[in-house]
C-alpha cells in the first residue's frame, strides 16, 4: 500500500491529528538555528533601534508616517512606498526562484517562532516527541499541570511578541506609557493586544503546520517562481529505491540506500514523507529531513545526500536560471526608479491657500489706499535636522509680505500652518486682480546625496480687490 501523507496531520475522516516532530540535529539545523535567533532578536529589537535620531522601522498608520531605515515617508510618498512594496515582492520572487521555499523554512515568523521558541518550551515542559506522543493518551487530570504550565509560558511569549509588534506602530515610548496607564486609558491598544495575542496563541501554540498547509497564500503560489535550477529538498529515488530494512538485503533482492527507517518523516514539522516527491505543497524546505537522513546514512556507512537540498534538476552545481535573471533585472529597474523618485523628494513641501473669510481688506494709509489679501502656507518638513523655509515676493514696488515668522523652522514630519498677508497699493490691480510670485527658499541643515542644501520654488498667487 502506498504511503498516504495525509495520515500524519489528518485522519481518514479529515480530522486533525497532532504532529510531534522529533528533534533533529545536523549541518543544516546548525545553520538554521542561529538565523532564527538573529531574526527573533531583530524583531524584538527593531522598535528600539534608531538611525540618525529616527526609528529604524516605524509604521505610524494613524498619522500616515513611515520611517524605514531612518528615512521618513509620508502620505505624499505613496509612489515611493509603492515601489518599495514591488521591490519587496521581487526580492521574494528572486529568493524563491533561487532557493525555493527558503522564506518558509528559514525566515517566516510563523516557522521561526514555532521552531525556536514554542517547540522548545513544549520540549522543556512536556518532554521529547516520543514522550509527548505517549502522554497524549493519559487522562487529562494527569496531563493538566504540564498543560497549564506550557500555555502560561506560551501566553508570556505571545505577550512579548504582540507588545513588540505594537511598538512598531506606536513607538516604544508610547507603548510604555500605554502599558503604565492600563487598559482603561488605552482601550484600542488593549484590544489590539488581546486579539493579536489570541491569534498568536492559537496559531503558534496549536494550529501550526495547518496554517502553512491550508491558509498561507505564499505557500500556494511559490511554485510559480521556481524553475529547474531552483533549490528544493528532494529524495534521490534512483539511489534510495527499492527501499527496505538493512537486514532484508539479499543477493536475490537488491535494494537501494533507503533503509525505510522513516526518520525523515518523524522529523518533518508538516508531517509529510519527502520520498513521495519533492514538490509537495506542505514542504517548507526546513531541511530537517536532510539532516535526519544524513545522520542515518553516516550510521550505516553510506554516502550522505540521499535527501538533498539542491537544484531540482539534479545538478550538484549552483546555476542561475533565466527566471532569476528576469527577477533580478526587474528588481534593478525598481531600484533605479526608487533612486529617481527619491531624488525628487524635497526638503520641505510648501502649499499655499487663500485664507477663508473676507476676500480682501482695505486700509487708508499716508501713501494712499492699501489692500490686503490673507493666505495660509502649509509647510511640511521632510528631512531630518533643522529645515527652514524663507518667503519673499516678486511683484510690483509697494507689494509687501507680512508674516509673523520668516524664515520659519520646518522640523521633519511636522505640518505647520502659517498665515500671512500680502499688502499692495489699490491702484496696482487691473480689473480687480493681479498675479504675483511667492518665492520659497527651503534650506536643510544637513545636505548630502539626495539631500540638497537648498531648494527654491516659486508659486503664482492671485491678488484680488474691488473690481
Q: How many residues bind ligand SF4 (CB under 6 A)?
A: 30
Name, in order, each residue with C-beta under 8 angstroms of 330's C-beta and a sequence gap of 6 or more: 90
Q: Rule CB under 6 A: is residue 444 a binding residue for ligand SF4? A: no
Q: Rule CB under 6 A: is residue 259 a binding residue for ligand SF4? A: yes
Q: Rule CB under 6 A: is residue 5 a binding residue for ligand SF4? A: no
> Nearer Cβ to ligand SF4, position 312 or 346?
312
Q: Rule CB under 6 A: is residue 266 a binding residue for ligand SF4? A: no
Q: Rule CB under 6 A: is residue 288 a binding residue for ligand SF4? A: yes
Q: Rule CB under 6 A: is residue 263 a binding residue for ligand SF4? A: yes
Q: Which stretch binds ligand SF4 (CB under 6 A): 68-76, 129-137, 177-185, 254-262?
A: 254-262
Q: Rounded distance, CA 171 to CA 164, Å?
A: 9
Q: Which stretch binds ligand SF4 (CB under 6 A): 259-267, 315-323, 351-359, 436-444?
A: 259-267
Q: Rounded distance, CA 46 to CA 67, Å?
A: 12
> Nearer Cβ to ligand SF4, position 104 or 377?
104
Contacting residue, 274, 331, 377, 442, with ligand SF4 by CB under 6 A: 274
- 3-class secondary structure for 172-231? HHHHHHHHHHCCCCCHHHHHHHHHHHHHHHHHHHHHCHHHHHHHCHHHHHHHHHCCCCCE
Q: Rule CB under 6 A: is residue 286 a binding residue for ligand SF4? A: yes
Contact (Cβ atoms closer than 8 angstroms) between residue 282 and residue 209: yes
> Nearer Cβ to ligand SF4, position 199 or 300?
300
Helix (H, G, I), strand (E, B) or coil at 413: coil
> Nearer Cβ to ligand SF4, position 227 or 295?
295
Q: Rule CB under 6 A: is residue 166 a binding residue for ligand SF4? A: no
Cell of residue 6, nine digits:
495525509
Q: Which stretch binds ligand SF4 (CB under 6 A): 138-146, 256-264, 358-366, 409-417?
A: 256-264
Contacting residue, 166, 175, 268, 438, with ligand SF4 by CB under 6 A: 268
The minimum distance between CB 448 and ligand SF4, in angstroms, equals 46
Length of the chain: 467
Q: Rule CB under 6 A: is residue 284 a binding residue for ligand SF4? A: yes
Q: Rounded distance, CA 403 to CA 394, Å?
A: 15
Contacting residue, 80, 193, 306, 379, with ligand SF4 by CB under 6 A: 306
Dump strand ranges (E) for 426-453: 433-444
Name, in order, each residue with C-beta under 8 angstroms of 150's C-beta and a sequence gap of 6 or more: 121, 122, 125, 126
Q: Rule CB under 6 A: is residue 233 a binding residue for ligand SF4? A: yes
Q: Rounded distance, CA 345 to CA 323, Å?
A: 33
DSSP state of 344: T
> Nearer Cβ to ligand SF4, position 16 or 417?
16
> Nearer Cβ to ligand SF4, position 274 or 377?
274
Q: Rounded distance, CA 404 to CA 77, Å?
A: 30
> Nearer Cβ to ligand SF4, position 264 or 310?
264
Q: Rule CB under 6 A: is residue 114 a binding residue for ligand SF4? A: no
Dump strand ranges (E) for 227-347: 231-235, 307-311
Q: Which stretch binds ligand SF4 (CB under 6 A): 167-175, 193-201, 221-229, 284-292?
A: 284-292
> Nearer Cβ to ligand SF4, position 101 or 163?
101
Q: Rule CB under 6 A: is residue 304 a binding residue for ligand SF4? A: no
Q: Rounded distance, CA 359 to CA 177, Å?
A: 46
Q: Rounded distance, CA 152 to CA 150, Å?
A: 5
Q: Rounded distance, CA 441 to CA 455, Å?
A: 6
Contact (Cβ atoms closer than 8 angstroms) between residue 383 and residue 446: yes
Quick one: angle between helices 140-170 and 172-181, nearest 10?
A: 130
Q: Rule CB under 6 A: is residue 272 a binding residue for ligand SF4? A: yes
Q: Which stretch binds ligand SF4 (CB under 6 A): 178-186, 232-240, 323-331, 334-342?
A: 232-240
The minimum distance between CB 287 and ligand SF4, in angstroms, equals 5
Q: Rounded distance, CA 157 to CA 421, Å?
A: 58
Residues lying near ligand SF4 in the complex (CB under 6 A) are found at 233, 235, 240, 243, 258-264, 267-270, 272, 274-275, 283-289, 292-293, 296, 306-307
Amino acid at each position: 500500500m502506498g504511503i498516504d501523507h495525509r495520515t500524519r496531520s489528518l485522519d481518514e475522516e479529515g480530522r486533525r491529528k497532532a504532529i510531534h516532530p522529533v528533534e533533529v540535529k545536523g549541518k543544516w539545523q546548525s545553520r538554521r538555528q542561529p538565523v532564527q535567533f538573529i531574526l527573533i532578536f531583530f524583531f524584538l529589537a527593531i522598535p528600539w533601534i534608531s538611525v540618525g535620531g529616527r526609528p529604524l522601522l516605524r509604521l505610524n498608520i494613524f498619522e500616515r508616517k513611515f520611517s524605514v531605515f531612518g528615512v521618513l515617508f509620508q502620505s505624499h510618498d505613496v509612489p515611493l512606498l509603492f515601489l518599495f512594496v514591488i521591490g519587496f515582492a521581487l526580492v521574494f520572487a528572486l529568493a524563491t526562484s533561487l532557493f525555493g521555499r527558503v522564506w518558509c523554512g528559514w525566515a517566516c515568523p510563523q516557522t521561526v517562532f514555532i521552531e525556536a521558541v514554542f517547540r522548545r518550551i513544549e520540549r522543556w515542559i512536556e518532554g521529547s516527541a516520543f514522550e509527548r506522543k505517549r502522554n497524549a493518551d493519559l487522562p487529562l487530570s494527569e496531563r493538566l499541570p504540564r498543560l497549564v504550565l506550557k500555555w502560561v509560558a506560551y501566553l508570556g511569549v505571545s505577550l512579548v511578541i504582540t507588545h513588540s509588534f505594537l511598538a512598531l506602530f506606536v513607538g516604544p515610548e508610547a507603548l510604555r506609557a500605554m502599558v503604565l496607564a492600563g487598559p482603561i486609558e488605552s482601550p484600542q491598544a488593549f484590544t489590539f493586544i488581546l486579539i493579536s495575542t489570541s491569534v498568536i496563541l492559537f496559531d503558534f501554540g496549536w494550529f501550526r503546520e495547518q496554517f502553512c498547509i491550508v491558509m498561507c497564500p505564499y505557500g500556494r503560489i511559490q511554485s510559480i517562481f521556481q524553475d529547474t535550477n531552483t533549490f528544493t529538498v528532494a529524495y534521490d529515488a534512483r539511489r534510495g529505491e527499492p527501499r527496505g530494512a538493512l537486514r532484508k538485503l539479499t543477493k536475490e533482492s537488491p535494494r537501494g540506500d533507503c533503509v525505510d527507517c522513516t526518520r525523515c518523516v518523524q522529523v518533518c514539522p508538516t508531517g509529510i514523507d519527502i520520498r513521495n516527491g519533492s514538490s509537495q505543497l506542505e514542504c517548507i524546505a526546513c531541511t530537517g529531513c536532510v539532516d535526519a537522513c544524513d545522520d542515518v546514512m553516516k550510521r550505516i556507512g553510506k554516502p550522505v545526500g540521499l535527501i538533498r537540498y539542491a537544484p531540482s534538476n539534479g545538478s550538484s552545481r549552483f546555476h542561475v536560471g533565466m527566471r532569476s535573471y528576469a527577477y533580478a533585472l526587474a528588481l534593478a529597474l525598481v531600484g533605479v526608479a526608487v533612486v529617481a523618485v527619491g531624488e525628487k523628494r524635497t526638503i520641505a513641501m510648501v502649499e499655499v491657500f487663500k485664507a477663508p473669510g473676507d476676500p480682501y481688506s482695505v486700509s487708508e494709509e499716508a501713501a494712499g489706499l492699501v489692500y490686503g489679501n490673507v493666505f495660509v502656507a502649509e509647510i511640511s518638513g521632510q528631512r531630518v535636522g533643522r529645515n527652514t523655509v524663507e518667503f519673499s515676493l516678486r511683484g510690483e514696488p509697494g507689494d509687501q509680505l507680512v508674516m509673523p515668522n520668516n524664515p520659519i523652522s520646518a522640523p521633519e514630519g511636522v505640518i505647520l500652518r502659517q498665515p500671512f498677508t500680502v499688502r499692495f497699493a489699490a491702484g496696482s490691480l487691473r480689473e480687480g486682480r493681479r498675479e504675483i510670485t511667492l518665492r520659497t527658499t527651503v534650506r536643510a541643515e544637513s545636505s548630502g546625496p539626495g539631500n540638497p542644501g537648498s531648494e527654491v520654488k516659486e508659486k503664482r498667487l492671485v491678488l484680488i480687490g474691488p473690481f
